[in-house]
Structure 1
Amino acid sequence: MIQDSDTDYSATFREFLAEQYHGRIESLVEEYPDDTVLHIDWGDLADHDLGAARSLLANPSTHYDALRDVLADYSHGGVDVYQATLHESRPIEPAVYGLPDNATFEVGEYRHSELNRLIEVEGQVTKRTEVNPMMSVVVKQCVRCGYLHRREITPTGKGGNVRWCESCGDEHDHGGPFEVRPEQSEWTDHQLVRVQTPPEQATDGNENIHVHLTGALCGTVEGGDRVSLSGEFRPEATKDWPVYDKHVMGRAARVEDASFEDVDIGDTDVEDIHELSRRDDLAELQRGSVAAAHEGDNHLKDAVRLQLFSDFSRVGPDGAHYRGKSHILLFGDPGSGKTLLLEGAHNSMPRSAFTDGMNSTSAGLTAAMTRDDFGGGDGWSIEAGTVVRASGGLAAIDELDKADVDDLDSLHTAMASEKVPVSKAGKSAMLPAQTSILAAGNPTGGHFDPSRPFEEQIELRSPLLSRFDLIFAVREKTDEQSVRQIADTMAKARDASGYFDRDDLDLSAEQRARIEPDIDANLWSKYIAYATRNYHPVAASEDVLDYIVDEYTELKTSLPSRYQEELDQEERGSLNDDSRSKMPVTMRKVGAIQRFAAASARSRLDDVYDREDVDLALDLVRRSLRDIGVLDGPTAGATASADQQRGFDDFGISPES
């Protein structure tokens, strides 16, 4: 039903605010001018007067202005908004959020039937301009008679025209000319943001829409933020007339929580999640859900599944920051399954982005500040890159060794601080990057040379390598049994996928087991989100922490002689960068052990980690150090190694087989 745009709901709005929002308005007046936005839930208005709420959706240009005017003049119960804001240039503004389902859209879902209506768009901010002054009402003076004309201007520059003087002009003589009077015009702040489909939801046709923020909404969102923005959906003419461009004139902005609060988990899901967590074979099921078609490499699957859970970031009372996200680097031969593991992790994670070092976004792996015509001028804008867009989740980066040097330098900073600083020409910003990095790359020459040390076959710089908690060498398997098993898996998985895609063929149970994850994909993703939301593990006791200290000390002081000499030089202060190993074992490994131990506890829905969790983390750390040649002992591809005895067999074959 079309709502009447001529109906005046001012009295309804006044009654609604007095009955349901008086306390919030009173608090807002006390905090003014530090806070100038009254957040109003559309559902509350609908409960009070459904007709008024529907009219607000249908005719926001009329009724939103009426709501704003009522709030500006609000005087009730000893609270007087007009008097409180009389000597300030910033008004208190309403921001209506929580629109009904039929007015809430993901980026790209809206159609022409929503034009000029109030809608709410859910997506991710990928680019934003600076906050700039904007003339919202222009005053033009007739040069001939001095009469002042006031005209509203939209954020896209429409309006503001004076065709003839209202004082001295007529149909024969329009009067004028007219001059703009900036000092008598009305001004506000303006910021343009680009909202795009989040990377984990993106298809080949990645949709975006421009949202104009004005007044108090400016500066409330940043690149990479997951947001809900409501406003009037307006068409704007382009050079391709009669096709119009899509814009939203923002009225409210909300930044979504970074801990997967947007993942819909119902009561039945919670029951299924807890039932799954009690399974004796939980770790095996989780490994089989990371990359179902990847044969073996259980130590890699264990590392990746724990990375999906990670730990939570901590900030001490002294401001010290302890990152929660873990970082893993898979370096190995082409065709060894690295990309399959990256894709499996990307598909498992509720929030993630996938890219490669050669073809990342125009903003690179982290973020970029550029001067372009975004926003209609020649101003500076900030664009979020892959790691920022994946904040709160995981960034899978293939071919990391092919990335630009500047990209790698900025990635190092993001991995260390979970933030991305962006600065240029005196402009600066800090973007969130609470992102786990799962990266893959190839050794120099394409394949590992067994006669050369690992560190000589990797071109990444030592500071970046030191930020990875785990580095694994993924070597091509060459023994007959492994080659046969991997080839068998690949051939039969490919054929089973053909059965899955054809409607006229039925998958057998054996075929289904080859290509389907051990845990239903939707439940697996919700399991990760639920664990991340609700469990924040700490050590079960001081004894567990002492155990970590003892084991790390033993690890550090029992390194081969070539690293012991380096440690001695470092203690004497005689170690220079040229002689420093690219694969150091630093105190950062203590944090890595704690992160993976906490992730192990989270993976079974536990709020404390114990010695068994620490042992799992230590096994992964030792395996990583052996893989890259820091610790002596069997490496990737070894038969019946110590890792296999702990269940980290390379090919899914027991040591006795």
Structure 2
Amino acid sequence: MARAENTELIDSFEELYRDYYRNEIGELAQKYPTEQKSLYLDWGDIYRFDPDLADDVRSHPEELRDYAEEALRLYDLPVDVKLGQAHVRIRNLPDATDIREIRADHRGQLIAVQGVVRKATDVKPKITQAAFECQRCGTLTRIPQESGDFQEPHECQGCERQGPFRVNFDQSEFVDAQKIRVQESPEGLRGGETPQSIDVNIEDDITGEVTAGDHVRVSGVLKLDQQGNDQDQSPMFDTYMEGFSVEIEDEQFEEMDITEEDKQEIVELSGRENIYDEMVGAIAPSIYGYEREKLSMILQLFSGVTKHLPDESRIRGDLHMLLIGDPGTGKSQMLSYIKNIAPRSVYTSGKGSSSAGLTAAAVRDDFGDGQQWTLEAGALVLADQGIAAVDELDKMAADDRSAMHQALEQQEISVSKAGINATLKSRCSLLGAANPKYGRFDQYEPISEQIDLEPALISRFDLIFTVTDQPDEEKDRNLADHILRTNYAGELHTHRVESNKSNFSDDEVENVTDEVAPTIEPELLRKYIAYAKRTCFPTMTEEARAEIENFYVDLRTKGTDEDAAVPVTARKLEAIVRLAEASARVRLSDTVTQGDAERVIEIVRSCMEDVGVDPETGELDADMIEAGTSKSQRDRIKNIKGLIDDLEDEYDEGAPVDVVVDRAEEIGMDETKAEHEIEKLKQKGEVYEPQTDYLRTT
């Protein structure tokens, strides 16, 4: 650009500062250089001031940044401060470029990308101007270090010899530098694409702000870097960005664009009387039945309110739900439907998930300079502020499952690997699906004994649904009719689209497909959920509080007898509160009413009756889930061990099995149950056989 034009551009920036940024520059002058080093310009302000200048900023960002910084140095400041090293950073570009849409044409332009930080190196000093001292005559030679390679002087300017040289650190200039890898956000991916990423180099005051798992918007210049090494250079180039500004987007669903028409439609929907039925109809319409489960999934999508208390403790609002059921009951299909509807979601399946893949992996590679350890965020971290759907939960290795415990309750993940100690956020809801222990439910065994998951993990789920597959003529007929109708609708639609000589009219196809269409369009439902979570924070009415309190206290009173089991724990109470808040959010209501409380109590009660009932007493027993054994079972084990103890003293060889069983029968225990418990004790190593059919306690 010509000299006159340069002066013109510097003048333009000075005028822009006077019109738009007077206060900001005054604040920068007061805080420079310890607290603040950068002036942030909003691209929209530049465009309003001069559209041509805004276009130049996008097409020649680095040149214009130099002029903008020069204008800042020439600006008349109210205080006597020199802004010699202050940066001008441009942010809020109107449209972000998808990482997978970056092309060669973008080279050298100012672009913005959005995504999740997958890796971030440590902040390291980087030399920008190296002062070389000649070892022979002591002359200093300063060489700016612009490109990727380290530039050394060819010869000394004093004695004209070729060295040797030593870097004088006191006379050199350094800047903080960091490299981050930004990967596409999971909510932007449809159809199982592999997420793509771009590396961003950032410098000075914007370093050290982000960590793996943060959602960010980065503005910067796209650069190219040649592949291969010096001897074997390739015609192919890698892209990377020089970052101008990095903003952390903690706001949920920032990228969901909700127009005024959408808002009107959402508010109109929320006022309908049958809104809950419509919501249920919008979830996986191709799967027949499961109204209770689908309603719970809707409540999970809307989620309760996360509370922050004055003492800085936090009560989670996210709901966790587990579906355990026979094969072929449509669990995985419901999970993948939810994954598509949730504004932010990550789907993973049991066998394919390791504990590092769920939480965070410490990886050693050449990201940055030289081999170093970095943290890579796993699925539960990427699902932060959304839903993590984990299928085949029972097929996971037990130690991989244990990685979830902290993520479910505290909603953060502590990582101590390869000398890195970090805590990552995982504020997500977990929707899990699993099969029973033996592949299918055995109707003669209590359901809680057939759940092949650790009690500590199970107790963290707010709702556990069991989906059994029992033949029933009427139900089977309805199911068959529904599946055939769904398939027929699919056939007609495909036939109409793919076949040139289709003899079905549009009306015929529409009539059939209407029967299996969701009651609310998936796109509108996603916006509805995002809108509700963004704007609606319901509070509990007195009636709702009383309803929930009475339900909980009534259940607990059944456990006050000396021999009775504890029917329910306080964890369930918190689950009911979260569900009731979610129920209010579905109506976009600011208050949780008695109706909400009754609706969710019904769901919780039926879940508890499915899973938390002791089959022997018929009473609710929280330990069936929380501890994995019912109270009556524990009592039996105690009794059997007591009997063996007593009989050991009477017989030299140990307690004979048949005598133990006889005594157990005398105190009212079934013979088969007694044998079953003895077998269990032997497996656990609490009892052993010194010789066949004789027992001793360990």
Q: Secondary structure at the match of 1:473?
A: strand
Cα distance in 2 between the residues matched to 1:65 and 1:483: 73
Alignment match, 2:437:
444
* Counterpart residue number, 1:192: 179
Q: Distance in 1 between matches of 2:295 and 2:24?
A: 49
Q: Which residue of 2 aligns with 1:95?
A: 89
Q: For the residues of structure 1 that align with 2:333 and 2:294, how far apart are their CA atoms? A: 11
Query: Which residue matches 1:158?
Result: 148
8 A Cα contact 1:477 1:483, kept in partner = no
Q: 2:393 aligns with which of 390, 395, 400?
A: 400
Q: Which residue of 131, 148, 151 corresponds with 2:140?
A: 148
Say if 1:447 and 1:149 are closer, same or farther in 2 by CA, change over 3 A.
Answer: farther
Contact 2:112 2:217 in 1 (8 A): yes
Secondary structure of 1:241's partner?
Answer: strand
Could you tell me which of 153, 162, 167 is aligned with 1:180? 167
Alpha carbons of structure 1 residues 111 and 415: separation in structure 2 relative to 1, 3 Å: same
Structure showing greater Rg: 2
**2-side partners of 1:409 and 1:3: how far apart?**
65
RMSD of Structure 2 on Structure 1 (CA) = 2.9
CA distance in 1, matches of 2:561, 2:330: 34
Matched-pair contact (CA < 8 Å) for 1:40–1:97: yes
Larger mean Cα displacement after TM superposition, 402-411 or 388-397: 402-411
Q: Is the Cα–Cα contact under 8 Å of residues 355 and 399 in structure 2 kept in the other structure?
A: no
Secondary structure at 2:176's aligned position in 1?
Answer: strand
1:236 CA displacement: 0.7
Q: How many residue pairs get matched?
A: 602
After superposition, what is the alpha-carbon deviation per residue over 1:146-175, rounded to whole angstroms, capped at 9, x for unaligned?
443434445xx7143236237269xxx883
Aligned pairs for 1:268-283 within 5 A: 268-283=261-276
Partner Cα separation in structure 2 for residue 56 and residue 293 of structure 1? 51
Q: Deviations over 1:367-406 (max 9, x none)?
A: 2333332223222212111111111111111111223444
The separation in 2 between residues aligned to 1:590 and 1:485, in whole angstroms, is 36
What amino acid maps onto 1:24 in structure 2?
Answer: E
Within a 5 Å distance, the mapping from 1:279-358 to structure 2 comes to 279-358=272-351
SS of residue paired to 2:27: helix
- In the alignment, which of 556, 572, 580 is matched to residue 597 of structure 1? 580
Partner of 2:534: 533
More helix as a share of residues: 2
- Given residue 96 of structure 1, which amino acid in structure 2 is its aligned partner? I
**TM-aligned CA distance change 1:280 to 1:105, over 3 Å:** same
Structure 1 position 180, deviation (Å): 3.3
Write the deviation string for residues 264-285 of structure 1: whole angstroms up to 9, x where unpaired: 0111111111111122221111
Match runs of 1:164-243 below 5 Å: 164-165=154-155, 167=157, 175-202=162-189, 203-239=192-228, 241-243=234-236
- Runs (5+) with no aligned partner, structure 1: 568-583, 636-657
- What is the distance in 2 between the residues matched to 1:362 and 1:377? 27
Per the alignment, residue 513 of structure 1 pairs with 514
Q: Check conservation: 1:211, 1:247, Cα contact below 8 A.
A: yes
1:572 paired residue number: none
| Amino acid aligned to 1:237 | Q
| Structure 1 pair 246–494 and aligned structure 2 pair: CA distance change class (3 A) | farther
- 1:262 match: secondary structure: coil
1:130–1:380 Cα contact (<8 Å) kept: no
CA distance in 1, matches of 2:322, 2:445: 20
Shift in Å, 1:82: 2.1
**Contact 1:142 / 1:165 at 8 angstroms: preserved in 2?**
no
Decide whether aligned partners of structure 1 residues 430 and 276 sit closer, same or farther in structure 2, where only a CA change above 3 A counts: same
Contact 1:346 1:353 in 2 (8 A): yes
Amino acid at match of 1:478: P
CA 464–343 in structure 1, closer or farther in 2 if over 3 Å, else same: same
**8 Å Cα contact 1:107/1:209 also seen in 2:** yes
Change (3 A) 1:431 1:481: same
Which sections of structure 2, spanning at least 5 residues, go unmatched? 621-698
- The answer for the alignment partner of 1:40 in structure 2 is 41
2-side partners of 1:386 and 1:5: how far apart? 55
Scaled by the length of structure 2, the TM-score of the pair is: 0.80
- 8 Å Cα contact 1:420-1:433 kept in structure 2: yes
Mapped to 1, the partners of 2:115 and 2:42 lie a distance apart of 19
CA contact 1:57–1:118 (8 Å) conserved in 2? yes
Q: Distance in 2 between matches of 1:117 and 1:360?
A: 39
Change (3 A) 1:60 1:177: farther
**Hey, what does 2:101 align to over in structure 1?**
109
1:243 partner SS: strand
2:141/2:157 contact within 8 Å kept: no
Cα deviation digits, residues 184-226 of structure 1 (max 9, x gap):
3322222222111211222424211111122111122232222
**2:660: which partner in 1?**
none
- Greater shift, 115-124 or 294-303, is seen at 115-124
Q: TM-score by structure 1 length?
A: 0.85
Corresponding residue SS for 2:466: strand
Who is 1:388 aligned against? Answer: 381
Distance 2:181 2:79 in 1: 38
CA distance in 1, matches of 2:47, 2:514: 50
Counterpart secondary structure, 2:352: coil
Query: 5-14 or 235-244: which moved more?
Result: 5-14
| Structure 2 residue aligned with 1:7 | 6
SS at match of 2:55: helix
Shift of 1:329: 0.7
**Cα offset, 1:6, TM superposition:** 7.4
Shift of 1:610: 0.8
Whole-angstrom CA distance in 2 between matches of 1:497 and 1:189: 58
- Any idea what the Cα deviations from partners look like across 1:33-79, whole Å, max 9, x if unmatched? 334443220111222233332222222222223323444x3653514
* Distance verdict in 2 for CA 1:559–1:294, change over 3 Å: farther
Tell me if 1:625 matches 2:634.
no
Alignment CA distance shift 1:384-1:6 (3 Å) = farther
Matched, 1:424 2:417: yes
Aligned match of 2:19: 19
> Which deviates more, 588-597 or 204-213?
204-213
Are 1:233 and 1:248, in contact at CA under 8 Å, matched by a contact in 2?
Answer: yes
SS at 1:549 equivalent = helix
Could you tell me whether the CA contact under 8 Å between 2:362 and 2:418 is conserved in 1?
no
Q: Matched residue of 2:101: which SS?
A: coil
How far apart, in 2, do the equivalents of 1:610 and 1:497 lie? 41
The change in CA–CA distance for 1:216 and 1:16 in structure 2 (over 3 A counts) is same
Q: For 2:140 and 2:37, locate their aligned partners in 1 and report how far apart those are by CA, in whole Å.
A: 31
Shift of 1:363: 4.2
Instruction: Mark the CA change 1:360 to 1:198 in structure 2 (over 3 Å): closer, same or farther.
Output: farther
Deviations 1:583-641 (A, max 9, x none): x8320111111111111110011010111101111111111112214377899xxxxxx
Structure 1 residue aligned with 2:628:
none
Deviations 1:340-379 (A, max 9, x none): 1111211111111111122238941122333332223222
